[in-house]
Structure 1
Amino acid sequence: MNDLNEGAHDKCAPEPCPVRLEFDDLSHVVELTDSDGVADALATVLPAWGIRQGGPARQLEVPTTIIQGDGDRYSFRSWWSQKPMTRLGLAGATCGAVADLVQAYLDARPGVFGLHCGAVRVGGQLIAFTGTYRAGKTTLVTRLGLEPGCELFCDDVLPIVPQGAVALGIQPRLRLPLPGAVSGVFKDYVNDNLTIFDHRYGYVDLPSQAQFGTTAPLSALILLSRQQGERARFHKLETSEAAAHLIRQNIADPGEVEDHYDQVAALAQGMTCLTLVYSDIEEAVALVCDAFGEGAAPRITDLGPPLDLLARLEESEPADLDCVFGQSEGVVERIIGADTFLWQMDGRNFFSLNPVGGAIWALLEDPASGADIASALHDVFPDAPIEMIRSDLSTLLGQMRARGLVECHDG
């Protein structure tokens, strides 16, 4: 995509001239300054998104992602954030732009369900893999996509419409270096097929990846639970718990509450719902392929009882409210409907907050003690007992700290 940037600096010398990238069917622009490499990277990881160089900035405001280059480092400012992320590598800056473009894709399609998951079609059956924090979904689905008869649909977000789930044709992105537990063969494949990479992240070319716009009915939802030393095995996942995870993992605007719940209930009831406990990724891949590789229905001979992973997801050490807390770097805030979603670039995790939680996050823009935040909340909700406010706040801050969303400062 060097032609997108050809002559740009000459026309605007001595000041660098921003290059505005536009995309088919999206009202969203990526504005690049001294970032020719990012333009080429986006063309590589988004091969069918109709990327083209746009004209001068319009008078009407268009949602814009801004990336500024400085040597081999970049600053990235999301359209949904007031603060830039700085000193990113090439793959990190590309990842930020891709995340904004996927969100713009969802926003442009009211009623679409945006499931935060990895998805692979195995033996003709499309399976969505989601899970708790650091469950290993991206590594698992990328590895699974290399198996014969498997087709990677996504490693991060799966749009779901009435006609089925839609592949966006985005190359999978792995955190580097790969975990030591993955096989040597998989490591060699990744190293030989990295397309865009830096010191922290790498995009991988998979020949079996589904092309942009490919649709398929969603056949199964598998909740991942990575547990050290445990053999790979399936457990039953109750429909109600599957629905709860679908609600948590939707990053699109839910629209009307009743319609949203009806959509979630229909999704959960129409799928095979399972929990996959695993430690070794090769064991997990073999188990999934054996269960879904042939036939219209999965073949599972050893199905364990349901596990209460929602409770485990909420477990964390309560925060000490005497500490001074602040927002961590590398976290992008997005308002979707009435909720605030925090997107963490490092692990590409989403953490959802209700309106009160969103207000607490806003208060953390300037470091503040937990005690001061509790007092501020009590001023807003004087009828709520202060001890209940402190307890709920301690739990929330503990969860956010455990996920790297907030930091405890010395004061």
Structure 2
Amino acid sequence: MTCRDVFFAGVPGAVRLHDCGGLLSALDEFFRLWPHAPRPEGLPSIPGFPGTFPPALHGAAPLLEIAPQGRGYRLRSPWLPAPRHEPSGACLLCSLAIELVAACCHACPRLISLHAAAVRLHGRTLLFCGDNRAGKSTLVARLMADTARGLGDDMLALHQGRIFSFGVAPRLRLPLPPSPALEHLMRDRPGIRDRHYGYLAASPDSLAPWGERNRPDAVILLERTPGSPAILLPAPAATGMDSVLSRFLIPDGGAPEVLRLGTQLLDALPCRILRYEDLDEAATLLERQARLLPPAASLPGDFSPATVPPGCHGQPASPPSGGTGDSRTLWRQRPGLSCRQAGQSIFLTDSRGNSIFRLDGTGAVVWQLLSEPLSRDEALSLLAETFPDVPQARIRHELGQLFQALFEARLIEKATKSP
């Protein structure tokens, strides 16, 4: 068996390829803008965090391993519960890029991963957030077909108040949506592909390399809506907060810092909803409006997490045993939680700092009441007076669900009345 180690900038360990000589040229081309070499010496480090590579890294056990498996490949990573099988080279390189980003963020606590996309357009940096299939990748590629510079597609990070790029080109679902400009770009700069996805070739004239940082100027929430003309709308505060916070991959214990970071982003930057169906129409609108967006407020010099302990992506805390008891039991907010209000919604972290929760409407009202010891019976009495037209049986049922959810999320604790 022949082995080949490849080291990547910012990653504290080797990618070891077992009998994968035929993959090397595709890997080199795919990661053209992410510095890599057979040895770690001389590779750039993350700004402000020079100690990425530990001593005697060369020759140590690999961080990631790739080997042939059937007609595809097997990828082993410390962030995967089991080795992952990838049916094609394109799938393998996509998964490898994701694991390399995770390794970078694990090694550098000041680098926090963000499942979003971004472009530099007419001197403005636009951060795109949206659900799967909202069109982040295709919109970035479509804007790159004109004058925009791609900063990242799905895999970004925030570092010291700036968007940190990894140099990975957009991955586009096939077949492409109707767009002559996008089709021309794919023909002109084809990258690796399979039956389901195709990559653009990594080109330095239209794509930011690994380590480039750009201060964001606006947040754009993508909503692909059938039949809708392309339109930019102001985003309600809670909508913007919910969309942005859900894009972060939270490190262990890092939820309070992520909540602070999301709050500062949305306090400083204009946030708009881009509702659209036609890709070219959306690109034209952004080309026209980018210069007209209000200027971003001054951001702190460093609002990225500074004290988040390194770790894998956080998971919600295990719920405590038991329940919320009878309706006369007194409860209160668990102390020490991070809490932010956006519009009429409240966002708060769990007691272990691994998850962020959103409370709306009645939930937000009850949470504020829980600043003092409160029972479900007392909450029922207060809400029944506020909403006399709602049957008390319904209020009682919903309060039972709310208190149980708050208890399981470790957001409340038993209390006693002050004398």
Classify the TM-score, shorter chain: 0.5 to 0.7
Q: C-alpha root-mean-square deviation of aligned residues, in Å?
A: 3.1
Are residues 1:355 and 2:306 paired? Answer: no
Determine if contact 1:78/1:96 at 8 Å carries over to the other structure. Answer: no
Query: Shift of the alpha carbon at 1:226?
Result: 0.7
Q: Give the 3-state SS of the residue equivalent to 1:230 in structure 2.
A: coil
Are residues 1:90 and 2:57 paired? Answer: no
Determine if contact 1:118/1:128 at 8 Å carries over to the other structure. Answer: yes
Matched residue, 1:202: 198
| Percent of aligned positions that are identical | 26
Higher Rg: 2
Query: Shift of the alpha carbon at 1:96?
Result: 0.8
Matched residue, 2:140: 141
Are residues 1:338 and 2:278 paired? Answer: no
**Which amino acid letter does the alignment assign opposite residue 211 of structure 1?**
P
Matched residue, 2:385: none
**Which amino acid letter does the alignment assign opposite residue 150 of structure 2?**
L
Are residues 1:383 and 2:345 paired? Answer: no
Query: Shift of the alpha carbon at 1:170?
Result: 1.5
Query: Shift of the alpha carbon at 1:97?
Result: 0.6
Matched residue, 1:251: 249
| TM value normalised by structure 1 | 0.65
Are residues 1:172 and 2:134 paired? Answer: no
**Unmatched segments (≥5 aa) in structure 1:** 1-15, 299-334, 340-353, 357-376, 393-411
Determine if contact 2:114/2:156 at 8 Å carries over to the other structure. Answer: yes
Rounded Cα–Cα distance in structure 2 between residues aligned with 1:221 and 1:254: 26
Determine if contact 1:239/1:269 at 8 Å carries over to the other structure. Answer: no
Matched residue, 2:179: 183
**Unmatched segments (≥5 aa) in structure 2:** 41-55, 296-310, 326-396, 403-419
**Which amino acid letter does the alignment assign opposite residue 242 of structure 2?**
A
Rounded Cα–Cα distance in structure 2 between residues aligned with 1:269 and 1:242: 10
**Which amino acid letter does the alignment assign opposite residue 86 of structure 1?**
H
Residues 66-117 of structure 1: CA deviation (Å, up to 9, x unaligned): 2222475222233211323325211100111111001111122213232211
Rounded Cα–Cα distance in structure 2 between residues aligned with 1:337 and 1:212: 22
Query: Shift of the alpha carbon at 1:238?
Result: 2.4
Rounded Cα–Cα distance in structure 1 between residues aligned with 2:57 and 2:21: 18
Q: 1:189 to 1:146 in 2, by over 3 A?
A: closer
**Which amino acid letter does the alignment assign opposite residue 117 of structure 1?**
A
Equivalent in 235, 238, 241 of residue 240 of structure 1: 238
Residues 8-32 of structure 1: CA deviation (Å, up to 9, x unaligned): xxxxxxxx22322212332132221
Correspondences of 1:17-32 after superposition (within 5 Å)? 17-32=2-17
Determine if contact 1:176/1:199 at 8 Å carries over to the other structure. Answer: yes
**Which amino acid letter does the alignment assign opposite residue 355 of structure 1?**
A
Matched residue, 1:363: none
Rounded Cα–Cα distance in structure 2 between residues aligned with 1:168 and 1:68: 24
Are residues 1:103 and 2:102 paired? Answer: yes
Determine if contact 2:113/2:155 at 8 Å carries over to the other structure. Answer: yes
Rounded Cα–Cα distance in structure 2 between residues aligned with 1:17 and 1:249: 39
Rounded Cα–Cα distance in structure 1 between residues aligned with 2:254 and 2:75: 33
Matched residue, 2:387: none
Are residues 1:263 and 2:261 paired? Answer: yes
Determine if contact 1:167/1:214 at 8 Å carries over to the other structure. Answer: yes
Q: 1:33 to 1:109 in 2, by over 3 A?
A: same
Rounded Cα–Cα distance in structure 2 between residues aligned with 1:161 and 1:185: 33
Q: Give the 3-state SS of the residue equivalent to 1:276 in structure 2.
A: strand
Query: Shift of the alpha carbon at 1:337?
Result: 4.9
Rounded Cα–Cα distance in structure 2 between residues aligned with 1:213 and 1:258: 26
Determine if contact 2:15/2:64 at 8 Å carries over to the other structure. Answer: yes
Matched residue, 1:155: 153
Q: Give the 3-state SS of the residue equivalent to 2:244 in structure 1.
A: helix
Matched residue, 1:47: 32
Matched residue, 1:67: 66
